[in-house]
Every structure is written in C-alpha cells, then in structure tokens.
Amino acid sequence: MVRRIVILGGGTGGTLLANRLRRAHAETELAITVVDQDDRHLYQPGLLFLPFGLTEVEAIVRPRHRQLHGGIGYRQQPVDHVDVEAGAVHLADGTTLSYDVLVVATGTVLVPEETEGLTGPGWNERVFTFYTLDGAEQLRGALDRFTDGRLVVNVVDLPIKCPVAPREFCFLADWYFRQRGLRDKVRITYVTPLDGAFTKPVASRTLAGLLSEKDIEVVTDFNTGEVDGRGGRLVGYDGREVPFDLAAVIPVHAGASYVGRSTGLGDELDFVPCDEHTLQSHAKPNIFVIGDAAGVPASKAGSVTHFEGEVLVENIGRYLAGAPLDASYDGHANCFIETGFGKALLIDFNYDTEPLPGHFPSTIGLPLLKESRLNHLGKLMFQWFYWHSLLPGRDIPGIGSSMPTAGKRPPAERKA
Ligand SMILES: Cc1cc2nc3c(=O)[nH]c(=O)nc-3n(C[C@H](O)[C@H](O)[C@H](O)COP(=O)(O)OP(=O)(O)OC[C@H]3O[C@@H](n4cnc5c(N)ncnc54)[C@H](O)[C@@H]3O)c2cc1C
C-alpha cells in the first residue's frame, strides 16, 4: 500500500526533507507531495549581503520546484487550513489533500504591523528590513545614499530567524562605511531586547567585545513599542528613545497564519509545539514539524533545519513501520557570524551546551568563537553547499546531526 506524505512548505526544510525521503523510500511505498504558495526559493543568508552589494538577487533565488528530485509531487497553492482530526489539508483553491503523515515546514512570517508606526510614514524610506528580498534590495539603495548620521539596527522581539544576522549586519555596516571613508561620520547603534550581545554568556562576552572594538554602540533591554519613521525615533515601552536617520528593523516573527486557523495545531504565536527530540507534534502522532515552524527551544536557522531533517527522515520511516521514534535530535545549531574585513566567527551549540571556544568539528578544524579568514571562506562556501548538498538531501562529510564535543573547550579547561 502506498502511504501519502504531505509536506507543507517547500523552503529549506520542506525541500531537504522531501529529497531525503525520496531517496530513502521507493515511489511504490511512499507518495510525497510538497505544497508551497510560490515558486521562488530564496537563499535567505544572502539577504545579509545584498544591502552591501556583496551579492545579487540572481545568485540567491532559484525556481522552487526545480530543487525537488523526480518522483516528488509539487502543488503551488497557499494552505488555507489543516483539519487535524480528519487528516486533510485544505488549500486556498478549495481542493483538499489527504495524508497518512503530515509535515509542517512553513517557517515563519514577519508581522511588522504588530509594532506601532513601523509600516507607517518612513517605511522603506528611512526604515527598512533586510529580512525580506524586497526590503534588502531597497535598503541597498538607502545605504548607498547614506553619507552621515545615525544608523540603528533594531530587533523588536524574539524569536527571530538567524538570531546572529542583526549583529552581522552591524559588523558589515562598520566595514562598509570604513571602505567608503565615512565611518567617522556614521554612528552605528545596535538595539536589542536582550540584556547582552547574545543569549548565552560566553558568546555574549566575545560578541560584546567585538561590537565595542568596532565602535558599535549597544542598547540592551530595549522593548520597542513604537517606530516613529517621520520623527526618526525608536520608542521603548519604558519611555526610552533612540534617535535614528536610517533604521534596519527586524520585525516580530510568527508562524504561518493558517496554523492559527487549524484547530489544535499551533500555539499563540502560530508555531507548532512538538517533542524537541523526535519532532513529533503534540497535536497528533502523524504530524511532524521541521525548521522555523517548530515550537522548540533551538535557534531558527538553516543548520538546525538540516540537522532536524536527518532525524525526521528516520522518524517518519519508524512511524510508518510502527516502531519507537528516535529521540536523538539534541538542538544542534551551527552558525558562521560574518564580522567584516573578510573574517567570520563560528559558533556550534545545542540545547544543553552553549557556544564554546575550540575547534569544529573536532580538535582540528575551523576555529570556534574566534575571528578567522577560514570561517569567512566557510560562510561563502556554505551557499554552494546549500544548493548542491543540503537542499538535495546529501550528507555533509564529517558533520552529523548531533553536536560534536571533541574540539570544544568547556570553561574549566580554559586558562583563567
Ligand atoms: C537575513 C537572514 C539570514 C540568515 N542567515 C542564516 C545563516 O547564515 N545560517 C543559517 O543556518 N540560517 C540562516 N537564516 C535562517 C534560515 O534561512 C531559516 O532558518 C531556514 O530557511 C528555515 O527553513 P524553513 O524550511 O523552516 O522555512 P523557509 O525556508 O522560510 O520555508 C518556509 C516555506 O513555507 C512557505 N509557506 C509559508 N506559508 C505558507 C502557506 N500558507 N501556504 C503555502 N506555503 C507556505 C513559504 O513560501 C516558504 O517557502 C537566515 C535567515 C535570514 C532571514
């Protein structure tokens, strides 16, 4: 009997999972259908480079359906809602897809309207976001025209995709204005709701040091209540104000809105709660989650999505075979942090271990929590791996889904 798998979302997670499943199961055994609302697959890490003229749109966008292997069905249609009890997906055109196993891979949506004033006067004139293709392109023009004044980078609230990208934007802005000989005329301020430069102490100290070295001001514990584009002010709920001439704002993120219309599927932010080790949803045993849509305490990152994919292929196979699930996903995340001037840091961590210094993936390898040219080259090469290895569902040699410990130096081993 052919079992039906429906994957909602053909982004990073939906694509790599469909391709891995297709390789693992014959078409006579498993019918796989991917649903997405459009046919434009965006390499999202490229959005960081676009505003600084370091990449072009053509390099980071490809046809979505072409990233799927043969033998995978593709439906281009928005999801309207899921009937969790009946086991059916209702699409916007009124058609229905029934499934034996459903995978939610619809990522996040940005909700700038949630913040007072953000999409009002000044939006896409002096207030931008580089978290969308259109926003990143428009910001490129604004940066080009910017010759002096105050540039503010603001994270409105958490969680966000790639939590390190806003700091990378600050580092690249420092590099960009130095290249143009304008750095002494541009004040760069990073405004965050966190109490430090990162969520975890060791990385937070390293990043705070780098921000200060590069003369980037940091405003912490700032909960943005209003963005006044006309007056050029961020206004905090506590009454503090941060003035700006140009702002790059990372808006509030939520899960896809159809999740909210699907009784029993999501939480109050429309993310899908699931077991953090098996990725099986709390809604129903035959519903699984991958990537940014998952309500787990891991980072919302492509690397996380990739590592989750390895465990999920195994678990879908086990679920269909009636076997116990593999609870081995440990929250592994791995991120290059571009720091400008051809250098980058690398962090590697999981649910239990914070980013530590040392080397990745073993005692010899890329330096962790340390600026290096090698890490920058790794970040650039990642784009090639994304299209040619990660999305097609191939393993990356030497890098598994579980976090490696061999090269890491826990605090006690480091010199005081
Ligand atoms: C600026 C920026 C920089 C980043 N840099 C990095 C990095 O350096 N390293 C890293 O690991 N990660 C990075 N990321 C994060 C990474 O891109 C995401 O975590 C990853 O793409 C998540 O994959 P996903 O499949 O969960 O979601 P997505 O890839 O976003 O896919 C979700 C899909 O669902 C579809 N969808 C949504 N709603 C519906 C609906 N109602 N009906 C039909 N289809 C729907 C969307 O069209 C989309 O194709 C970055 C992200 C940004 C924004």
Average pLDDT on 151-170 reads 97
Identify the pLDDT of residue 196: 87
Residue of the CA atom closest to atom 31 of ligand 1? 11
Half-sphere exposure of 414 (CA within 13 A, CB side): 10
Average pLDDT over all residues of the chain: 96
163 CB less than 6 Å from ligand 1? no
Q: What digits encode the pLDDT tens for the residues 359-409?
A: 999 888 999 999 999 999 999 999 999 999 999 999 877 788 899 988 988
Identify the pLDDT of residue 81: 98
Position 14 confidence tier, pLDDT thresholds 50, 70, 90: very high
Identify the pLDDT of residue 406: 87
Identify the pLDDT of residue 416: 44
Identify the pLDDT of residue 413: 56
Identify the pLDDT of residue 16: 98
166 CB less than 6 Å from ligand 1? no
CA of 154 to the centre of ligand 1 (A): 20
Residue of the CA atom closest to atom 20 of ligand 1? 302
Q: What digits encode the pLDDT tens for the residues 212-237?
A: 999 999 999 999 999 999 999 999 99
Q: Residue 78 CA: which ligand 1 atom is closest?
A: 42
Average pLDDT on 272-290 reads 98
39 CB less than 6 Å from ligand 1? no
CA of 105 to the centre of ligand 1 (A): 9
Identify the pLDDT of residue 414: 53
Find the range with the poorest average confidence among 137-146, 200-209, 301-310: 200-209
Average pLDDT on 67-78 reads 98
Q: Do 325 and 278 touch, CB atoms closer than 8 A? A: yes
Identify the pLDDT of residue 412: 64
Whole-structure pTM value: 0.96
Identify the pLDDT of residue 400: 81
Q: Residue 335 CA: which ligand 1 atom is closest?
A: 9
Instruction: Identify which of 62, 292, 376, 390 to mutate to test ligand 1's pocket (most ligand atoms within 8 A of the CB).
Output: 292
49-56's contacts with Cβ under 8 Å and 24+ in sequence apart are 49/172, 50/130, 50/133, 50/136, 50/137, 50/139, 50/140, 51/130, 51/136, 51/139, 51/140, 51/143, 51/169, 51/248, 52/140, 52/143, 52/172, 52/173, 52/175, 52/176, 53/140, 53/144, 54/172
